[in-house]
Amino acid sequence: MRKTVIAGNWKMNTDRSSGAELAAAVMHGAGSANLPEHADVVLCPPFVVIPIVANAVAGSRIRIGAQNVHDQPRGAFTGEISTGMLHSVGCTHVIVGHSERRLMFAESDYDVCRKANAVVGANLQPIICVGETIAEREQGRTLEVVRRQLRAALDGIFEFSIRTCIIAYEPIWAIGTGNTATPGQAQEVHAFIRSQLREMYGSAAAEDVSVIYGGSVTETNACDLFAQPDIDGGLVGGASLDASAFTEIIRAAI
């Protein structure tokens, strides 16, 4: 049975005090002690805020994720952070291949693949992001682009570890724009992602992988999106910075 996953990507927002406050408010609002076993709520603060947030949610069922990672375990990589470092501060999840990293920091499909493999190898769960630009959608190339990104990212990840991977479909035109994909548009791509997973790993494994949607998810549209059969939760940006909005999104998902 695949899990419902609701992840908050805080991007480059919050600091020690506002991060701790936000985490405490989400814990309180989500009734973290009573979260069902089939749901994972993951907070992804900036690196330096991770320890204080991990401390704030200690003992609850709320998980911590990072927004990026380097694929090597250690060495002369100024400014980078390894999987082992993330493990040591309590992370269980890592976002890889977010479109902001692909577009603004020139991460290639190959980089995303190396990171995804490093994360899986470190017994952390990657949240692997894929999604098309508006131009690609208008050219009718959405499924081709998503297929390429997905297959490239999962190269080297075998059937025995695919269940630890979470796939996030985030159409770039929907991120931070208020132009949420319609439930139908999102479901089409999610079903396609699952069909690709089926081809690569077989039906049983594909059924167990959580495929979540990101791009202007709000407390208003969450219910309709999460009601789709292949949408298993959300990767939430802006609305995850508002504890009451994020709490309502969690409620819509579980």
Q: Which of residues 42-101 bind ligand 13P (CB under 6 A)?
A: 98
Task: Name the packing angle between helices 16-30 and 243-253 (round to 10°).
Answer: 40
Residue 34: helix, strand or coil by DSSP? Answer: helix
Nearer to ligand 13P, 214 or 233 (CB): 214
Rule CB under 6 A: choose which of 14, 117, 161, 216 binds ligand 13P.
Answer: 216
By CB under 6 A, which span of 84-92, 137-145, 208-216, 222-230 interacts with ligand 13P? 208-216
Half-sphere exposure of 214 (CA within 13 A, CB side): 32
Closest to ligand 13P by CB, 146 vs 236, is: 236
The interface with ligand 13P within residues 113-172 (CB under 6 A) comprises 170
- Supply the minimum distance, in Å, between the C-beta of residue 98 and ligand 13P: 6
Q: Is 28 a catalytic residue?
A: no
Give the C-alpha separation, 104 to 112, whole Å. Answer: 14
User: Closest CB to ligand 13P among 210 and 216?
Assistant: 216
The secondary structure element, H or E, covering residue 225 is helix 222-226
Task: Determine the length of the chain.
Answer: 254
Examine residue 186 and tell whether it contacts ligand 13P (CB under 6 A).
no
Residue 219 as a binder of ligand 13P (CB under 6 A): the answer is: no
Looking at the DSSP bridge assignments, the partners of residue 125 are 93
Which residue in the block uniquely carries the two structure tokens 């059969």? 229
Q: Are 111 and 128 in contact (CB under 8 A)?
A: no
Distances in Å between the Cα of 80 and the Cα atoms of 3, 72, 73, 76, 132 are 30, 9, 10, 9, 27
Backbone angles phi, psi at 93, to 5 degrees: -130, 155
Rounded to 5°, the CA angle 41-209-217 comes to 45
Of the ranges 32-40, 70-78, 146-154, 230-238, which one interacts with ligand 13P (CB under 6 A)?
A: 230-238
User: Residue 204 Cβ, how far from ligand 13P at the closest point, in Å?
Assistant: 29
Question: Would you count residue 237 as binding ligand 13P (CB under 6 A)?
Answer: yes
93 is catalytic: no
Which residue out of 70, 93, 98, 190 is catalytically annotated?
98
Using the rule CB under 6 A, which residue among 217, 222, 225, 252 binds ligand 13P? 217
Q: How far is the CB of 132 from ligand 13P (least distance, A)?
A: 14
* Amino acid found at 7: A
Catalytic residue among 107, 132, 136, 170: 170
Say how far apart CA 150 and CA 196 lie, in whole Å: 8
Active site residues: 98, 170
Site residues for ligand 13P per CB under 6 A: 9, 98, 170, 175-176, 214-217, 235-239
